[in-house]
């Protein structure tokens, strides 16, 4: 039982947002992909359509997280990620819009550059366009250490930096992402269906944590299915559980760890390396639905969904939502590796 009966929207109303993201994002059918795969009925939640800086799921989190930065008087936003990080690009865009300096720890060594254009185009180009200060650092496996070190350095120089974690994944980011469920519930009802599952790519954990927490209140009969894209399913699940528990405490919701499902086996050889199934998913989404997916996140997420459908996980008369987290700019950095 819940600790109280307040609807999700009322719980979320206690947390202010800046209005950076264009919300709600659309929810619509993917009829041609459904027909190609033979069911279930597929829908797409367009988190790539949040607007600012080419959009994406991180912008929904930043709407709430950066409210805290602005209210605290920060003059600099600090975050980090790999060269083609979608998160970094959205942080840089948000900082530019807010008139704040942006410093990014750019990790090198997590993956070998897959193409000659990897280091300069796509998200890397947009980071420069949005005016971010880029700091090359080695990848050690600790997602946030270099970001925190950069915060300390800027603070010592007299700045007022605000730390944004890798992937904007923390308790407040997960609370922010629960707003996606608050949108999907009425949108699906208006379209006349009740989703059996919401399937998405999962990596740093905050997005899935928010979906799980929101669904616990507003869509308890809908399964949240995360497709691991890091080739680290145990680590991913542990992070989702931790963020979901913290977000549940903030929203006064009872959290059941059994609601966290992270599906392994669809990340390919490693993070950031597209494999045959990823490229097939990107081709199908583009050719059947005019839906651009990226080869690091959303492409692998759809590849996992396709595999589950082919394994017979859902009946043809069930409805499944694919959550498109964005990332299209990375397509240009991977172009010569995709064979398209």
User: CB under 8 Å to 325, separation ≥6 — which residues?
Assistant: 47, 48, 56, 57, 86, 200, 201, 207, 297, 298, 301
Question: For residue 2, what pLDDT is reported?
Answer: 43
User: CB under 8 Å to 229, separation ≥6 — which residues?
Assistant: 201, 202, 203, 266, 267, 271, 296, 297, 300, 301
Please state the separation of Cα 96 from the chain's center in Å. Answer: 20
Question: For residue 214, what pLDDT is reported?
Answer: 98
Catalytically annotated residue among 71, 79, 85, 259: 85
Quick check: is 298 catalytic? Answer: no
Over range 309-324, report the average pLDDT: 98
Give pLDDT tens digits for 197-248.
999 999 999 999 999 999 999 999 999 999 999 999 999 999 999 999 999 9
Distances (CA, A) of 150 to 32, 102, 281: 47, 11, 37
Q: Count CB neighbours of 12 within 10 A.
A: 20
Question: For residue 5, what pLDDT is reported?
Answer: 81
Over range 145-156, report the average pLDDT: 98
Residues of the chain with pLDDT > 90, as a percent, come to 98
């Amino acid at each position: 039982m819940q600790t109280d009966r307040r609807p999700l929207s009322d719980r979320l109303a206690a947390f202010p947002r800046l209005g950076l993201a264009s919300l709600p994002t659309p929810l619509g059918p993917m009829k041609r992909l459904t027909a190609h795969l033979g069911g279930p009925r597929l829908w797409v939640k367009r988190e790539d359509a949040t607007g600012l800086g080419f959009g994406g799921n991180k912008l929904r989190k930043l709407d709430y997280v950066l409210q805290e930065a602005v209210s605290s008087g920060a003059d600099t936003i600090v975050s980090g990620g790999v060269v083609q990080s979608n998160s970094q690009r959205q942080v840089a865009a948000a900082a530019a819009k807010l008139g704040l300096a942006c410093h990014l720890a750019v990790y090198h060594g997590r993956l070998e550059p897959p193409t000659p254009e990897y280091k300069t185009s796509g998200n890397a180009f947009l980071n420069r366009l949005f005016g971010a200060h880029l700091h090359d650092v080695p990848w050690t496996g600790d997602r946030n250490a270099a970001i925190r070190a950069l915060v300390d350095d800027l603070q010592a120089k007299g700045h007022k930096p605000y730390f944004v974690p890798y992937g904007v994944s923390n308790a407040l980011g997960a609370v922010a992402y629960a707003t996606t469920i608050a949108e999907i519930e009425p949108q699906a009802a208006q379209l006349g269906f009740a989703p059996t599952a919401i399937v998405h790519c999962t990596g740093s954990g905050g997005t899935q944590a928010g979906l799980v927490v929101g669904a616990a209140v507003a869509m308890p009969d809908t399964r949240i299915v995360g497709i691991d894209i890091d080739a680290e399913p145990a680590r991913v699940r542990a992070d989702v559980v931790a963020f979901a528990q913290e977000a549940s405490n903030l929203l006064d919701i009872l959290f059941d760890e059994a609601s966290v499902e992270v599906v392994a086996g669809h990340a390919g050889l490693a993070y950031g390396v597209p494999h045959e199934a990823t490229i097939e998913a990107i081709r199908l989404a583009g050719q059947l639905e005019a839906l651009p997916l990226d080869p690091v996140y959303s492409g692998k997420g759809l590849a996992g969904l396709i595999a589950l459908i082919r394994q017979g996980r859902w009946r043809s008369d069930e409805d499944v939502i694919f959550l498109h987290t964005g990332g299209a700019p990375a397509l240009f950095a991977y172009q010569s590796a995709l064979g398209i």
